[in-house]
Structure 1
Amino acid sequence: MPYKPDDYRHVNYLWEDDVADQLSPVENLVYRSNKLGEDQRITNTGGGNTSAKIMEADPLTGESVEVLWVKGSGGDLRTSTKENFSSLYEDKLKALDDVYQNYEDKGYKSAGEDRMVGMFKHCNFCLNPRASSIDTPLHSMIDEKHVDHLHPNAVISIASCKDQERLTELVWGGKLLYVPWMRPGWEAAKECENIYAANPEAWGILLGQHGHTNWSSESKSCYETSLWVIETAARFIEEHDKGEVTFGGQKYQSLADDKRTQLLRDFLPVARGLVSSKVKFIGTVQTDEATLRFVNSVDAPRLAELGTSCPDHFLRTKIKPLYVDFDPQNDSYEQLVENFKAGLEKYRADYAAYYEQCSNADSPAMRDPSPTVVLIPGVGMIAWGKNKSESRVTAEFYNCAIEVMRGAEAVSEYTALPAQEAFDIEYWALEEAKLQRMPPEKTLARDVVVVIGAGDGIGKATAMRVAKEGAHVVCADIGLEKAEQTAKELTDIYGQGIGVSGSGISACGPAIAAQVDITNRQSVQDMFTQVILAYGGIDKVIVTAGVFIAEGDDFDRNDKIFEKSFDVNVKGGYVVGSEAQTIWQKQNLPGAMVLTTSVNAAVSKKGSLAYDTSKSAANHLVRELAVTLSPLVNVNGLAPATVVQGSSMFPRDRVISSLSKYDLPFDESESTEALRDKLASFYAQRTLTKQPITPDDQAEAAYLLVSGQLSKTTGQVISVDGGLHEAFLR
């Protein structure tokens, strides 16, 4: 019988009667799904399905009909709402069996399987637009009101053993039936229906290499049965745990934290450049204890070569990871790079051979043969994806694969799916169709863009603009709190992405904050280290940080102003560019850099000698860096005019001073923004366009310079000043 709520050790019992009892049947299904999804030990991100058969009023006839509500394609149990569930007429679903049997190319590998998915929409209840999952027939054919289909690590461990059928009886005492591996779909559902009908006292079915399905007449008891299945498997594995000799015992020692950080800072850009031979990837590093125990073990090379077992895993991790031959105590960094290059070449050759061996005339074209998971003894795991969310989930899934291998090796011997079965899943026509339906990627979707000065003004507007185009944004500023606020605003808009933090997986999403003083090389190095560990490298760097200090008649004070102005406005850009150069060279991927200068660089004015001269030097720094960083990196400048709105260079006292200087009427009681608007309007009248210049205007130009649309432009300074004829080129 299921355990008491307080007895669970390997899963969390989260059901609350006082909440669940107040919900409608569909809301109760969503509640059950969310509670199952909250615990990562129960199912993978985006994996698993739950269902309930509910009596509903037919919108056409008003008659009471049975409707299958089942989690649809995509989405995640933890975050699913009613909108993530398909609803289908149960009688129409069952009637589709005749359609399936009439297909000439029968069998679970047949094209008939794929055609059946297209038939599901003819069964939709109330025109529900949610696409149905491939597991829909499984939930329909099990003649119970509530069904859960999950992929817990502990259960997959048993399902991946060489003697999985024997262990099914041993572990669950006959309460779980057994079905060997079958590709999900109609034929697999029929097999489960038959074995369920022949064993009405059973609680569920173990699906070989896959997971489990269980059922009940009540939602709560279905939830509790799911937990019982997982807890029972986990306890069995715990009883057989091999302790220090897990994975054959330890072979390598982990590097100390500081040495690992330095190695990753050097290696990640190299690795990113090499794996990004077709398209760029974003990285996630995982260095938790469980990952290190695996990569440092005797058996890691053997098990890694076998590959993953559960289809949910290898759709993210590919059929196997790249295990790098590296002795962390004796091999040099240079040796690691050479071994990685050799391993990568062999991996790609192996993948191409796998494709040639398993493909047929109708198979989709071979996808990028680069690995999505890289394992390095003493260091940990590096996962790659098209964005941070995907790489985080890839890391999470291989972490699950490690736990599956640990459990399987504890109780028996781990086995992976045969190559052909794995290929049929990876290159499944339905999976290919799903990929083809994905919307086009945004301009900066695979880019890491570092915006320095992102705490306010032009920098903040630029961070917002590049994030809109899909960039992973590093919001860097000398004021960490301001940088964190910008990063938080971006995360609130674009979300953290699916996946979970913790367990050594870096928790960053589409934006992170970093503190940096660009006049201090060590500070810049530390900032770039943070960026590399978060994403794997950099692509674009936009420097909007600058300083303006009003001058007077005090020469000593003006000397200090001169030093400060050149330190920030010139040296700072040089320090950032020279540090970024080492990363770009290691990646060997095209990059772009933008320095913010000023139209004052071309217009002489009284009272801003240090500022104007430093900006003139910054203009030439743009040209020098363009030469230095070519041909890999384009370097251009952005020259704003007086951007008053939201600028830290225009604090209230400077705005009031300027209004007084130009005899513009104002009231001390007016807000700072109102005073800034008055000054901006005055400045606008001095331009040809007669319009105030805003941070968004500058951000648009900065985005244009890093977007790739001006890929043949470098060493140029673009003025965004509303049309100041005094700044025209001479």
Structure 2
Amino acid sequence: MNATDFKHVTYAWDDAVAAGLDPVARLVYRSNLLGSDQRVTNTGGGNTSSKLPMRDPLSGDEVQVLWVKGSGGDLRTAGREHFASLYLDKLAQLRARYEAAPERGVKTSIEDEMVGMYPHATFGLNPRAASIDTPLHAFIPAKHVDHTHPNAVIAIAAAEDGEALTREIYGGEVGWVPWQRPGFDLGLVMARLLRDNPELKGFVMGQHGLITWADDDKACYERTLSLIERAARFLEAKDRGAQAFGGQKVAPLGEGERAALLQGVLPRLRGLVSKENRMIATLEARPEVLEFVCSHDAPRLAELGTSCPDHFLRTKIRPLYVDWRPEEGAGALVAKLEAGLAHYRDRYAAYYEARRRPDSPPMRDPNPTVVLIPGVGMLAFGKNKSESRVTAEFYASAVAVMRGAEAVSRYTALPPQEAFDIEYWALEEAKLRRMPPEREFARHVVVVVGAGSGIGRATCERVALEGAHVVCADLSAEAAEGAARALTDAHGVGIGVAGTGVSGCGPAIGAQVDVTDRESVRRLFERAVLAYGGVDAVIVTAGIFVTPDAQGRIPDEGWRRTFDVNVMGSYLVADEARRVWEAQGLRGSLVLTSSVNAAVVKTGSLAYDASKAALNHLVRELALELAPLVRVNGLAPATVVEGSSMFPRERVKSSLTKYDVPFSDDESTEALRGKLAAFYAERTLTKTPITLADQAEAAYLLASAKLSKTTGQILSVDGGLPEAFLR
């Protein structure tokens, strides 16, 4: 088979690449190929396996080992370290133990206990935890097994007459397995069906997905793709085109109209869904999602919820559908969101109470993670950008499933009790509890103005270490993008968000801003809102120092520019951020960068020092203006020479000359900066140079909850300058 045989999936197997790989590496290769096509499986979904002969590290004997994608991870990016390895003979012993248990069954204690036994079957001290799907791979006798979540196959699996459709599409080549929670019992059901029907090439798993197998890994890959292709072609032939989902009910807004609407609505929505835990938003407005959200059938289908368990673990039992039309206006949308969310929370609590079992974990956040707005699209929420993007991806997959199922039959979702038992499964709860504690700025969006260099760049790096999503803003677009790119490289892959016009929207984005221009500042916050849903903290490090002329004077334009940037700029940033903070209703933090020069009289920096004195008072005034919602504090650094754009080479040389510090013109700029920093350090009580890291730590501290009761204050980080002591 080759690439031209497929239309609905991507055939990417390369014999030359595969030939150079060892057996486990070939499994990784096959997995990555399958995971790279979202039409085959969703992010984090599905698993693959190979049964391979290995040398036992103790006995030296050859043994059969099951290598299977472990718990967590993603097929697209999985490496060898993401695969569990288990002795097949020990898994057979577990099977015998399970079959001998009188209480065996889908939701019994022995079913879950088996998962705790997997470590006893581990080969080679492999630390990767085995997946709950391990029995699906272990008990199928073929050497290679693929379990995927293709939209086309799930559309059949979620159709009212899915079993009959499976026979119509595949004849007797593919069997049907009714919905059953993954685990030991499901693995045994499949094993028995395959024993009685050895001609089968795969199973359609009711509500769930596809599982295929072969004794050759390339043949297994090709079989997986061919079965998906056949289902996709069947659905394509039945597709209703413009009449899918009953046809269009609401016309979608244009990109500009949508963005303008969301500026006022999205921060409010983020605030509403963040009452228990702050959430990060992703807007999904690709055509196929808009087609669904704007359709006649969207309310009915949204009410049913999703079918595949991988989907609703992210999207909850169902989304919130808002019955709104664009002509009603933003005010009506906000009112309907408020009412809809209150009803959703009450309904979710009732769902929990009605379905809970004696040992069920406590109820989780009752807010929706998916909100559908006709004319606008889908808004998905998660604890970080990656999670909200994946949630959007999963519901987009659910839309494709519903479209296919409705084209050939009638879409059905899992019964509510089954959905609850998956959502509140003890094993899922245990997985959540194993996750490390969230960092200080997890779930937070921090805007750093002046991010391109110096204190701003260091502050970006510091808050990103605490889990922040960072909007790196700078007068230089190139510097802003460079800062964002560095954070993305260090903390996660940037991912474009369909429909927002925001590219590289991962843990950080870059944005050009001129703080002296209100419209430019407004566009900065519009960009932050579209990227993440809102803003939590703003740290302004942008500033300007105009060097006096030979007579020590600064021209009038230099004075004007100094105050425009250092004072008016900070005010404009605060005033535009205020719109977002008030719409969200979530507590925020603002940090403005002053200087010890605001309190110290010195020659040669009259305009700069006066502007920073004014900024100190601006901090106090804004603390009153923005209370109690937002804390406002100032950071007052002593001179930081290291990496500062305010200290170009000529200014450094001028300062060294002024202070009679010897230097030569052939020294590097950094060497000259080091000399000047050392000179300044000798004037302090601690006798150590002030670094960018020192200032970034203080900026982080002021913005964080660690100083949640501090506002209207100026924190000096100057190494100890007695003349700057509080008066």
TM-score normalised by the shorter chain: which range applies?
over 0.9
Which residue identity is paired with 2:339?
Answer: A
Deviation by residue 1:280-306 (Cα, 9 ceiling, x = unmatched): 101011111011000000000000000
Q: Distance in 1 between matches of 2:553 and 2:55?
A: 86
- Given the superposition, is the C-alpha separation of residues 444 and 562 from structure 1 closer, same or farther in structure 2, using an over 3 Å criterion? same
Of all paired residues, the percent bearing the same amino acid is: 61
Q: Structure 1 length normalisation: TM-score?
A: 0.98
CA displacement at 1:385 relative to structure 2:
0.4
What is the number of residues matched between the two proteins?
726
CA displacement at 1:106 relative to structure 2:
2.0
CA displacement at 1:603 relative to structure 2:
1.2
- Aligned positions of 1:325-340 closer than 5 A: 325-328=323-326, 330-340=327-337
State the match for 1:576 in structure 2.
Answer: 573
- Aligned positions of 1:326-365 closer than 5 A: 326-328=324-326, 330-365=327-362
CA displacement at 1:176 relative to structure 2:
0.7
2:282 and 2:497 in contact (8 A); partners too: no
Q: Tell me which of 119, 125, 129 is aligned to 1:131.
A: 129
Q: Distance in 2 between matches of 1:574 and 1:150?
A: 53
Q: Distance in 1 between matches of 2:117 and 2:562?
A: 69
State the match for 1:61 in structure 2.
Answer: 59
Q: Tell me which of 174, 196, 200 is aligned to 2:198.
A: 200
State the match for 1:630 in structure 2.
Answer: 627
Q: Distance in 2 between matches of 1:133 and 1:400?
A: 23
Q: Distance in 2 between matches of 1:639 and 1:560?
A: 25
CA displacement at 1:325 relative to structure 2:
1.1
- Aligned positions of 1:456-605 closer than 5 A: 456-496=453-493, 502=498, 507-552=504-549, 558-605=555-602
Where 1:719 maps in the other structure, the secondary structure is: strand
Q: Distance in 2 between matches of 1:554 and 1:7?
A: 80
State the match for 1:392 in structure 2.
Answer: 389
State the match for 1:108 in structure 2.
Answer: 106
1:288 and 1:504 in contact (8 A); partners too: no
State the match for 2:84 in structure 1.
Answer: 86
State the match for 1:7 in structure 2.
Answer: 5
2:284 and 2:498 in contact (8 A); partners too: no
Q: Distance in 1 between matches of 2:496 and 2:117?
A: 35
Which residue identity is paired with 1:117?
Answer: V
CA displacement at 1:256 relative to structure 2:
1.9
- Aligned positions of 1:16-415 closer than 5 A: 16-328=14-326, 330-415=327-412
CA displacement at 1:4 relative to structure 2:
4.2
CA displacement at 1:173 relative to structure 2:
2.1
Where 1:512 maps in the other structure, the secondary structure is: strand
Q: Distance in 2 between matches of 1:569 and 1:133?
A: 56
State the match for 2:670 in structure 1.
Answer: 673
Matched, 1:615 2:612: yes
Q: Tell me which of 695, 710, 713 is aligned to 1:713.
A: 710
Deviation by residue 1:115-153 (Cα, 9 ceiling, x = unmatched): 010111111111111100001011010000000000011
Which residue identity is paired with 1:305?
Answer: E
Q: Distance in 2 between matches of 1:256 and 1:161?
A: 34
Which residue identity is paired with 1:27?
Answer: A
Where 2:661 maps in the other structure, the secondary structure is: coil
- Given the superposition, is the C-alpha separation of residues 291 and 611 from structure 1 closer, same or farther in structure 2, using an over 3 Å criterion? same
Matched, 1:425 2:398: no
Which residue identity is paired with 1:52?
Answer: S
CA displacement at 1:464 relative to structure 2:
0.6
Which residue identity is paired with 1:33?
Answer: S
1:392 and 1:500 in contact (8 A); partners too: no
Where 1:570 maps in the other structure, the secondary structure is: helix
Where 1:465 maps in the other structure, the secondary structure is: helix
State the match for 2:646 in structure 1.
Answer: 649
CA displacement at 1:628 relative to structure 2:
0.3
1:204 and 1:215 in contact (8 A); partners too: yes
Q: Distance in 1 between matches of 2:274 and 2:492?
A: 25
Q: Tell me which of 701, 705, 725 is aligned to 1:704.
A: 701
- Given the superposition, is the C-alpha separation of residues 170 and 651 from structure 1 closer, same or farther in structure 2, using an over 3 Å criterion? same
Q: Structure 2 length normalisation: TM-score?
A: 0.98
Q: Distance in 2 between matches of 1:708 and 1:206?
A: 50
Where 2:231 maps in the other structure, the secondary structure is: helix
Q: Distance in 2 between matches of 1:500 and 1:644?
A: 37
Which residue identity is paired with 1:139?
Answer: H
Q: Distance in 1 between matches of 2:105 and 2:726?
A: 74
Q: Distance in 2 between matches of 1:593 and 1:301?
A: 41
CA displacement at 1:102 relative to structure 2:
3.5
2:633 and 2:714 in contact (8 A); partners too: yes
1:325 and 1:376 in contact (8 A); partners too: yes
Deviation by residue 1:180-210 (Cα, 9 ceiling, x = unmatched): 0000001111110011111111110110000
Which structure 2 segments of 5+ residues have no match?
Answer: none
Where 1:638 maps in the other structure, the secondary structure is: strand
Q: Distance in 2 between matches of 1:479 and 1:607?
A: 27
CA displacement at 1:356 relative to structure 2:
1.1
CA displacement at 1:352 relative to structure 2:
1.0
Deviation by residue 1:616-667 (Cα, 9 ceiling, x = unmatched): 0000000010000000000000011111000001000000111111121111
Which residue identity is paired with 1:445?
Answer: A
1:453 and 1:478 in contact (8 A); partners too: yes
Question: Which has the larger displacement, 232-241 or 254-263?
Answer: 254-263
Deviation by residue 1:526-545 (Cα, 9 ceiling, x = unmatched): 01000000000000000000
CA displacement at 1:168 relative to structure 2:
0.5
- Given the superposition, is the C-alpha separation of residues 130 and 444 from structure 1 closer, same or farther in structure 2, using an over 3 Å criterion? same
2:283 and 2:499 in contact (8 A); partners too: no
Which residue identity is paired with 1:202?
Answer: L
Q: Distance in 2 between matches of 1:675 and 1:521?
A: 37
1:491 and 1:509 in contact (8 A); partners too: yes
Q: Distance in 2 between matches of 1:61 and 1:582?
A: 69
Deviation by residue 1:321-367 (Cα, 9 ceiling, x = unmatched): 00011011x21111001111111111111111111111111100111
Which structure 1 segments of 5+ residues have no match?
Answer: none
1:284 and 1:505 in contact (8 A); partners too: no
Where 1:709 maps in the other structure, the secondary structure is: helix
Aligned-residue Cα RMSD (Å) equals: 1.3
Question: Which has the larger displacement, 120-129 or 500-509?
Answer: 500-509
Question: Which has the larger displacement, 255-264 or 423-432?
Answer: 255-264
Q: Distance in 1 between matches of 2:703 and 2:348?
A: 34
Where 1:422 maps in the other structure, the secondary structure is: helix
Which residue identity is paired with 1:45?
Answer: T
1:392 and 1:505 in contact (8 A); partners too: no
2:284 and 2:497 in contact (8 A); partners too: no
Q: Distance in 1 between matches of 2:312 and 2:359?
A: 21
Q: Distance in 2 between matches of 1:627 and 1:503?
A: 38
CA displacement at 1:463 relative to structure 2:
0.5
